[in-house]
Chains A and B, each alone.
Chain A
Amino acid sequence: MIPAAFDYVRATSLDDALARLAAGGGSAKAIAGGQSLLPLMKLRLARPETLVDIGRLAELKGVRRLGDGRVSIGGLTTYDEMLRDMTLHRYGLLADALPNIGDVQVRNRGTIGGATAHADPASDMPAILLALDAEVVVRSVRGERAIPIAGFFQGAFASALEPDELITELRLPGGREDLGSAYRAIEQPASGYSIAGVAAIIGARSGDRWGFCSVAITGVGEHPYRATAVESAILGGASFEAAAAHACDGVTVASDIHADREYRAHVATVQVRRALEAAAARLA
């Protein structure tokens, strides 16, 4: 299968890439690892007129600690690079999820910026970013803005990103000693995409109450979402099992050949409970 013809430019710097995307006016698209875009182009579900290759922009690669204690992951950092990065090892939910995203070949090329921009409703990384309350730093010729992840995902393959904007960084909170986190998913066996994937962070326990709980779910709704009903049930003293029953509250649960609505909703509930249990176990 061969993509429709396009013009190709290899960006020489971030500014060069941004200028070319702006000049393309919506018909130009960035390509990073190509692990989502190329399959779509081969099926001709995507037909960009110009591809701007950002794959060599070293300034968008790597993980660093910011002055305020947060951790910044460059948009072009691959899953494989993230797996090897010691700074990220302490995020339990990343350690759980990263080795199971795609396969080695996909992780060698796929980037966190590409996964975030693509906004696949079953992608794993969006749930993790949501649970962590990450910040998406984007740039265009108009300048830089930081988008809170809470409003970033707006629908299937739809996000707050403008066509001429690039994700330069994902910023994660520094990680608190009194919180534990985990990621649990039931995957569709052929593709590895989540039927229901759950990122959970819990902790700050005082007496018999949890002081902090964050739960995000992918693969289930129209886009990955924070399961706020689960979170408030936990903070209100509910058991993991009872709270997990609220996994799909207010969400139109997806139904497809891999999992019908009822099964997917059930799996989401089970994964929420397991992710919460695993996150809590990491605290001990």
Chain B
Amino acid sequence: MAEHVSLVVNGVPREVDVEPRRLLVQLLREDLDLTGTHIACDTSQCGACTVTLDGKSVKSCTVLAVQADGANVTTIEGMATADGLHPLQAAFWENHGLQCGFCTPGMIMSAADLLARTTDPTDDEIRHAIAGNFCRCTGYQNIVTAIRAAATTVRAGAAG
């Protein structure tokens, strides 16, 4: 039996009828055409499918769409604004925080959860925060640099 799911995705209210077994990642990619959220392992390990659910990072391949009913979901498509890229996106670009880019949407959403907790993370805290996100290209160093740089931008923005 189809279940009705209402949720807010990237600030836009959405209504979708889904089978109970539909995963949040499928709802985002297939029902809402938001293909920025990637599927890699599909076994809850790699973090490529990370989005935020009511502000907290989750692996959307390990959440049922029905569990997200009533929630506020942000995907990579919701990060940039009319004013331009989100500080995390800009910092990944400027610091070569990506190579193939497959892990990047998930990395950025995990980093968004971190920056919501602290805007002054140490490198250890950054590494701990992205422990659930695998990158097969960069060796992580530039990702850590990018997140540190984004934190600085966010702090400067808050101070200014």
Residues of A bordering B, CB below 8 Å: 1-8, 10, 31, 34-35, 38-39, 41-43, 51, 53, 55, 80, 99, 102-106, 108-109, 190-192
Contacts and interface: CB of A to CB of B under 8 A. Distances in A.
Given A8-B3, A104-B110, A108-B58, A39 B128 contact: no
Contact of B58 (A51, A109, A192): A109
A5 B20 CA distance: 7
B63 A109 contact: yes
Contacts of B143: none
B64 A39 contact: no
A53 B66 contact: yes
A7 B63 contact: no
B50 interface: yes
A5 B56 CA distance: 28
Contacts of A2: 21, 23
A108 B129 CA distance: 12
A192 B66 CA distance: 28
A35 B56 CA distance: 15
B64 A7 contact: no
A28 B50 CA distance: 29
A108 B117 CA distance: 13
A277 B35 CA distance: 50
Interface of B: 1, 3, 19-21, 23, 42-45, 47, 50, 53, 56-59, 61-64, 66-67, 69, 110, 113-114, 128-129, 131-133
B66 A104 contact: no
Contacts of A7: 1, 20
Contacts of B131: 103-104, 192
Contacts of A103: 47, 131-133
Given A38-B62, A42-B42, A191-B45, A104 B20 contact: no
A187 to B, nearest CB: 11
Contact of B56 (A42, A53, A55, A108): A108
Pick the 4 closest A-B CB pairs, nearest first: A103-B132, A8-B20, A108-B56, A3-B21
B17 to A, nearest CB: 13
B132 A35 contact: no
A5 B43 contact: no
Nearest to A109: B58
A34 B67 contact: yes
Residue from the set A38, A42, A104 with the largest chain B CB neighbour count within 10 Å = A104
B64 A104 contact: no
Nearest to B133: A103
A80 B43 contact: no
B132 A104 contact: yes
A43 B41 CA distance: 12
B42 A34 contact: no
